[in-house]
Amino acid sequence: MKGNEDKGTKSYNRDFVRSALKLIYTFLTNILFPEELLKTLLKARGTYLSRLGNEGRRALKLLNNIDVDDVRKALREMGKKVLRETRNRRVAIDLHSQPQYHKDKSLLSRIKPNKGTSWGLAQIAIFLLGRKSIFLDVLPITVKNIAEDFKMVMQVVLEELDKFDLRLVRVYADSAVNEVIKFLLGLGVDFVITARYQMYKKYEDKLRDVNITYCGVRYTGFLCVRHVSGAYLVILRKGDGIIAFLVSGEVDVRTAVVLAEDYRERWGVENAFRSLEEFRVRTCDVRKELVLILLCYFLLNVWFLVRSWRRVRLWEFSQALVDFLVFKEMREVVSQGLPQVGELFFVNFS
């Protein structure tokens, strides 16, 4: 009985992995992307290609034949497909940095200058929220001061969203300077931006008592006051802690609570970036870095889609893909009349 169950699980997982590979190659048809490169990238996940020796060096050579725009096109095509199947078309936008230490800084932006030597690629990630999660697009940023060029960045984002037939309704952000807040007010979009402690510390003892529960969370204090930037500062007390953020207009306590809970949903974007860091292949060749990052975004999208069919961890997912590709190579060896090789054991996702 147990043998039959193992056999059924192997068959199911093999079909599951085949479906993932079918997704990958459906959207990479216009890119010179051999299976050898895919297998190597999956094996090197979370570390440097150079650790794979000759295999890693061959992968670096193959990367020279891949164009950044082709990978972005594959990302967008997959995003469009998911959008057609998703009723709740809410998107989140986030700026994300990819640290890179390299002598050649010509293709990089300075990020996190407080760390001195830290340079890196910065991207805008347009991320779908709702029933399905996926990166719709990733836009490289090459300006050295994102805050100063925020207006230009937002104009590019609006153009990208228009291509997806999406409208920017509300911007969520970790923090922002007054110039950015004023720009968003002029743009006429709603926003929720985390307030720094210095902004609300003098109001902590002025909150009026409330008693409201939303999504299982109880709030006991509330205040909404005008901020010097022209926005409104909202302060909520939740348990022993304080939640404070800036919004475009005056709100009542119920609206403030809903916004606070909506803001929590954007952490799905942060979790996706954590997965990306775990999955991202690294190289000291800065000219290949963006291609590798985009390919990892793409592979993460495949993971997002297949885990909606069956729950699977990212690491197990990528390992199963590697095992399947290796098994295919082994079968080719068998077909050439060489000694027979035993069947490979597949990861149990359950």
pLDDT, tens digit (0-9, with 9 covering 90-100), for 240-266: 889 999 999 999 999 999 999 888 877
Q: Are strands 119-129 and 109-110 parallel, antiparallel or unpaired?
A: antiparallel
Cβ–Cβ under 8 Å, residues 233 and 195: yes
Cβ–Cβ under 8 Å, residues 126 and 137: yes
pLDDT, average across residues 52-74: 89
Task: Indicate if the alpha-carbon torsion angle 160, 166, 168, 174 is positive or negative.
Answer: negative
Predicted confidence (pLDDT) at residue 75 exceeds the cutoff of 50: yes
Predicted confidence (pLDDT) at residue 61 exceeds the cutoff of 80: yes
- Report pLDDT for 4: 47
Residue 65 lies in a domain: yes
Regarding predicted confidence, which is higher, 54 or 316?
54
Cβ–Cβ under 8 Å, residues 92 and 127: yes
Over the stretch 89-128, which tens digit does the pLDDT of each residue have?
888 888 776 665 555 555 555 554 444 344 566 788 898 8
- Report pLDDT for 104: 57
pLDDT, average across residues 316-330: 78
- Report pLDDT for 248: 93
Over the stretch 188-215, which tens digit does the pLDDT of each residue have?
889 999 998 888 999 988 999 999 998 8
Regarding predicted confidence, which is higher, 238 or 148?
238
Determine if residue 337 is left, alpha or beta; phi over 0 gives left, psi from -120 to 50 gives alpha, anything else beta.
left
Residue 335 lies in a domain: no
Residue 336 lies in a domain: no
Residue 343 lies in a domain: no
Over the stretch 267-280, which tens digit does the pLDDT of each residue have?
777 777 788 878 88
Range from 4-8, 156-160, 301-305 carrying the lowest mean pLDDT: 4-8
If you average pLDDT over each of 28-37, 66-75, 304-313, which comes out highest? 66-75
Residue 2 lies in a domain: no
Predicted confidence (pLDDT) at residue 341 exceeds the cutoff of 50: no
Number of domains in the chain: 1
Instruction: Determine the angle formed by the axes of helices 314-335 and 267-279, rounding to 10 degrees.
Output: 40
Predicted confidence (pLDDT) at residue 304 exceeds the cutoff of 70: yes
Residues 162 and 45: their CA atoms lie apart, in Å, by 33
- Report pLDDT for 8: 47
Regarding predicted confidence, which is higher, 79 or 308?
79
DSSP label of 113: G
Mean pLDDT, all residues of the chain = 79
Closest to 71 measured CA to CA, from 137, 130, 162, 170:
137
* Domain around 143: 11-329
Cβ–Cβ under 8 Å, residues 232 and 226: yes
Regarding predicted confidence, which is higher, 238 or 123?
238
CA angle 216–132–158, rounded 5-degree value = 100
If you average pLDDT over each of 24-33, 180-189, 234-243, which comes out highest? 234-243
The residues with which 186 forms a beta bridge, in sequence order, are: none
- Report pLDDT for 30: 73
For the chain, what percentages of helix, strand and coil (3-state, to nearest 5) are there?
50, 20, 30
| CATH number of the domain that residue 141 is part of | 3.90.350
Residue 106 lies in a domain: yes
pLDDT, average across residues 144-169: 80
Number of residues assigned to the chain: 350
Predicted confidence (pLDDT) at residue 172 exceeds the cutoff of 80: yes
pLDDT, average across residues 304-311: 79
Residue 170 lies in a domain: yes
